[in-house]
Structure 1
């Protein structure tokens, strides 16, 4: 399958993938879940990542986002930045798109999380799981987390803003900023930090005053138990 893709915007890539799956490939028996992976210290080790310069593909992300598809007795993962099963996946099929496929959950999890590898407590991975339909309706990003202000010697911040316009750390996606229907109705234009925040107790849902759905946070054992297929 071919999905819209922009480097460093994994949350938006997954949102686009959800829309693609709902439009083209979703069957009534399948359940799609968007999964944010982070930690209390915003540092999580993931292996088999394309951006790594190491042979094992290890990267310490502040957060990462994947899509899990579940049906009777099995689960699969779509990660547009993985090198697992790289033989059948090309990098960018054309500008702004990436070819990728869903991988068996067990295979992906073993290669990417390496559960048998002992981690320091600060790297303990936590997983925010959100039903995909809720995510596309409730997610909003103005991309301000990717903006920087060019250095200036001026003490006048307002003047600096005018003379040194805001720039992006990396090029923005080709599509417009994403504001889900429920987020827009609630007047929310940026809630990405809420999805990344893992301070909600594992197993508890996040229920905020804006009435939007943010899923639940699971520790690694609970996450693997929920989606792992036991033959």
Structure 2
């Protein structure tokens, strides 16, 4: 695996269902030999905040030239490999190269140099993919209005059910607050939590690359 781009159309994508898209992405990366068979080099990242308003740039759904859009939440996958390969970001909704090296993705999509009002500051929940693939569930209830009608057309595949039988726990992943964020990503307890906790850890946006660097040292 190199940092050369891949055909994004090899991967399933249903608009507005990024959590299920990333779930299937992880499974395919594993089955195709692009990731480790059990997904140990993959990390699922939920991006949101208390107000469910996060700006991200270079998104295909945007109608602006700079590709900026205000999502309520977004989900991506970060791959950490050995052999001098930079961490890679797999974002099926991005117009950037697919996958993108983490530094360029952060620079072009998160744009930390862009001064945001505090209401739009982004938080990141980082979950180890093997745990996510076992524990995540969605019956898509969040995509129905009060009358039971679809707000956005659902994927054609069956809803995702967790190994323990849970049918919906999406809110447990996307409900993120500043109070949940850890203060120091370098401690061993943080790394332990990522590899053992169902909901991973929550960090602030200026900690993302530092945390990935810490995880890279373990690979």
Partner residue, 2:27:
19
Alignment of 1:178 with 2:187, yes or no, is no
CA contact (8 A) 2:44 2:76 kept: yes
List 4+ stretches of structure 1 deviating above 3 A.
Answer: 27-30
Question: Tell me, what secondary structure is at the counterpart of 2:181?
Answer: coil
Q: Which of the pair is proportionally richer in strand?
A: 1
TM-score (normalizing by structure 1): 0.77
Distance 1:102 1:147 in 2: 31
Matching of residues 121-140 of structure 1 within 5 Å: 121-140=118-137
Distance 1:192 1:47 in 2: 24
Partner residue, 1:94:
none
Distance 1:21 1:172 in 2: 22
Cα-to-partner distance string for 1:116-139 (whole Å, 9 max, x where unaligned): 011111111000000001111100
Distance 2:57 2:50 in 1: 19
RMSD of equivalent CA atoms: 2.3
Partner residue, 1:31:
41
Alignment of 1:219 with 2:212, yes or no, is no
Q: 1:80 aligns with which of 68, 87, 92?
A: 92
Partner residue, 2:180:
201
Q: CA deviation at 1:37?
A: 0.2
Question: Unaligned 5+ residue runs, structure 2?
Answer: 1-6, 184-189, 191-195, 215-219
Length, aligned pairs only: 191
TM-score (normalizing by structure 2): 0.81
Partner residue, 1:7:
15
Partner residue, 2:193:
none
Distance 2:158 2:44 in 1: 20
Distance 1:212 1:38 in 2: 19
Higher Cα Rg: structure 1 or 2? 1
Question: Unaligned 5+ residue runs, structure 1?
Answer: 86-100, 151-165, 206-210
Matching of residues 47-196 of structure 1 within 5 Å: 47-72=57-82, 73=84, 74-85=86-97, 101-150=98-147, 166-182=148-164, 184=165, 188-196=166-174
Distance 1:228 1:106 in 2: 11
